[in-house]
Copies of this chain bind each other. A is one copy, B any other.
Amino acid sequence: MRTVVPFDPRNPNSRLSPVLDDDQRREFAAAMLADVLDAVRGAGGDPEVLATASPDIDVGVPVSVDDRSLSAAVQGEVDADLPVAVVMADLALATPESVRGLFDAGGDVALAPGAAGGTNGLVVREPGFSVDYHGASFRDHSAAAERAGLDVAVVDSFRLAVDVDDVADLVDVFVHGEGRARDWLVDAGFDLAVRDGEPVVEPNA
């Protein structure tokens, strides 16, 4: 399965800025991307990166640059060649097994929800689908499939639902991560602590 992984090498995961500086965010984003590409390959997919600008790192897979909005750039990929999968670059918990669940879900369109209304994984097999990552994209993607007469399969996966775009999400990377993203956090001096009964990720004292 051709699998497009949208990636912003310029200002990735900006909501992590309370704990990571700009260079750290770029390094951490590259680590998450590498984990996602591994998971896609492990699931039998052929990953390619769809970047907002030319990455200054070698990501090891074909890269195309498209500086339009995420929705427009992904729509271009959907219109170009089907079937296609789209998997977000910050799914640091993704495993070959969870990505395979997306590939094998069936449906003209398969959707893996992201937390808070998002769409973290998408497979389009038939023409006519409209991409819209703005707002509650899961709802909009379900409606777009219905308008086009396409049936939808939904993948129920926690590992695909966690997109690491917030400081609180780092807890899940620590608890459930198995790849480079977790290693990067450990090497950068972060650890899991408990404050007022709640787990938090914070720099080692």
Residues of A within 8 A of B (CB): 97-98, 101, 112-113, 115-117, 134-136, 138-139, 156-162, 168-169, 171-172, 174-176, 192, 194, 197-199
Contacts and interface: CB of A to CB of B under 8 A. Distances in A.
B175 A136 contact: yes
B172 A116 contact: yes
Contacts of A135: 194, 197-199
A117 B192 CA distance: 10
Q: Which of A98, A176, A192, A199 has the most CB of B within 10 A?
A: A199
A199 B159 contact: no
B162 A159 contact: no
Ranked nearest first, the 5 interchain pairs of A and B with the lowest CB-CB distance are A135-B194, A136-B199, A158-B161, A117-B199, A117-B171
Given A136-B199, A197-B134, A116 B158 contact: no
